[in-house]
Amino acid sequence: MVFSILEKKDKKKRNIAIGVAIISFILFGLTSPEVEDGYEASKESETQENSTNEPVEESSTSESSEESSKPVESEESSKESESESESSEEVTYDDPLEQSAHDVFGEDLRSFNVIEDSGMKDIYVEANISMNLTANMMKGSFEMDVLDYAEKVKAEGFSNIIYMAYAEATDSYGNGTEVAAGTITLSKETIGKINFEQFSRDNLPKIADNYNMNIGD
């Protein structure tokens, strides 16, 4: 009798345990897919985040390279604009006589004047002689500029061209000073006789209306 009662209790406990196990299995089966799905979803989201982050880094790199190249382009364009503005600011002169003087003598031109009196129109050109040459080379360089200017303006209306040369020298006390290096005068009539293609500079002292140079031989 006692054994039968114990057997019944054991069977009841086994049935309860089996029921609990079945319920636990059912619940585990229902919840486990969600966990896996959530795990897979998290992996996919991480993959998407990584994939989206990579292009952003590339774009940032490309943007930085573009930005670094922009200042260079702006500097080059500014330099070009400066050079264009400098070329556009070159001084021009309405008088062809004065324009030619600047073209020939350049920075060595000290002054340019045209004096008209009693029907005469004389051109006065004052210029410096470069001092980085020997005396004969200094004189020869000035004479070449004299002939070059005469050739440029020979078709213009004038009476005489008076050239005045200036040079730096050292006085008896060793001090630097500026001296008149000489003058050359060419009349329009004399200039009209010169064949500039065949003319020898050595003959300039012979044909000039006035030739008085204080430097060189």
Identify whether residues 106 and 176 lie together within a single domain. yes
> 4 pLDDT band (50/70/90 cuts)?
very low
Identify whether residues 120 and 205 lie together within a single domain. yes
Identify whether residues 104 and 122 lie together within a single domain. yes
Identify whether residues 20 and 56 lie together within a single domain. yes
Q: Within a 13 Å sphere around the CA of 175, how many CA atoms are in the beta-carbon half?
A: 3
The answer to whether residue 87 scores a pLDDT higher than 50 is no
Domain termination residue (choose one: 90, 108, 139): 90
The answer to whether residue 23 scores a pLDDT higher than 50 is yes
**β-pair partners for 162:** 124, 185
Identify whether residues 65 and 27 lie together within a single domain. yes
Identify whether residues 85 and 108 lie together within a single domain. no
> Measured between alpha carbons, how far apart are the two ends of the chain, in Å?
160
Average pLDDT over residues 54-83: 52
Domain termination residue (choose one: 90, 123, 152): 90
The answer to whether residue 113 scores a pLDDT higher than 90 is yes
Average pLDDT over residues 185-213: 97
Of the two residues 178 and 67, the one the predictor is more confident about is: 178
Tens-digit pLDDT profile for residues 132-171 = 678 889 899 999 999 999 999 999 999 999 999 999 888 7
Quick one: pLDDT at residue 80?
Answer: 62
Identify whether residues 66 and 106 lie together within a single domain. no
Identify whether residues 61 and 137 lie together within a single domain. no
Quick one: pLDDT at residue 26?
Answer: 57
**β-pair partners for 112:** 125
Tell me the two tokens of residue 90. Answer: 């070159």
Conformational region of residue 174, where left means phi above 0, alpha means psi within -120 to 50, and beta covers everything else: left
Identify whether residues 84 and 100 lie together within a single domain. no
> 88 pLDDT band (50/70/90 cuts)?
very low
Identify whether residues 145 and 181 lie together within a single domain. yes
Identify whether residues 137 and 51 lie together within a single domain. no
Average pLDDT over residues 126-131: 88
Identify whether residues 183 and 125 lie together within a single domain. yes
Q: Which of 163, 151, 164, 162 is nearest to 120 (CA)?
A: 162
Domain termination residue (choose one: 61, 90, 119): 90
The answer to whether residue 108 scores a pLDDT higher than 80 is yes
CB atoms within 10 A of CB 146: 24
Collect all residues with Cβ–Cβ distance below 8 Å to 178 and sequence separation of at least 6: 166, 167, 168, 169
Domain containing residue 5 = 1-90
When divided into structural domains, the chain yields a total of: 2
pTM for the model stands at: 0.58
